[in-house]
């Protein structure tokens, strides 16, 4: 799985003019399932994210995890994280998991975060979404379970 994490003070996702997910302080997680991913991959990524020390402690150092701060997660499916830009000017996305598999893994990922007691909101798989955020820091990290 690939994930792009952004530490936020606020994030929301809107579909057809309706806000379907929003969080206060926490992480906006753009996630892409890859063909080799399975439930073990999903759980490992959720656990890794829950423990990453991306939030400031009282001394202003990034020493606290999402679970330690009580922050939330907004998970948005984004197959474009699988973009292949090695040829030409139009990215290819054939490296992403097929939609039916990707949707299942995406929902399992959100559920895995909830199982770790992280309040989690989601976007809508396959929808044209408008995502807004206030990036805090800014802090943005790229994770790839294949690495």
The residue with tokens 């820091």 is 137
Whether 113 and 121 have beta carbons less than 8 Å apart is answered as no
DSSP string, 80-98: GGG-B-SSSSS-B-TTSPP
User: Going from the N-terminus, what domains does the chain have, and what CATH number goes with each?
Assistant: 2-136 (3.50.80.10)
C-beta of residue 9 within 8 angstroms of C-beta of residue 137: no
By annotation, the residues acting in catalysis are 78-80
**pLDDT tens for residues 88-144?**
899 989 889 999 999 999 999 999 999 999 999 999 999 999 999 999 999 999 999
6-24 pLDDT, tens digit each: 999 999 999 999 999 999 9
For residue 100, the model assigns a pLDDT of 94
pTM confidence score: 0.95
40 φ/ψ angles, rounded to the nearest 5 degrees: -65, -40
């Amino acid at each position: 799985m690939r994930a792009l994490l952004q530490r936020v003070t606020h994030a929301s996702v809107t579909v057809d003019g309706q806000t379907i997910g929003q969080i206060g302080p926490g992480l906006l997680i753009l996630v892409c399932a890859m063909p080799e991913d399975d439930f073990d991959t999903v759980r490992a990524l959720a656990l890794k994210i829950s423990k990453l020390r991306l939030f400031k402690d009282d001394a202003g150092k990034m020493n606290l995890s999402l679970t330690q701060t009580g922050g939330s997660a907004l998970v948005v499916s984004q197959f474009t994280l699988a973009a292949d830009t090695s040829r030409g000017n139009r990215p290819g996305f054939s490296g992403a998991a097929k939609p039916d598999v990707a949707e299942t893994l995406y929902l399992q990922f959100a559920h895995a975060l909830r199982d770790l007691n992280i309040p989690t909101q989601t976007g809508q798989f396959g929808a044209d979404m408008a995502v807004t955020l206030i990036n805090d820091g800014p802090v943005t990290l790229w994770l790839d379970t294949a690495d």
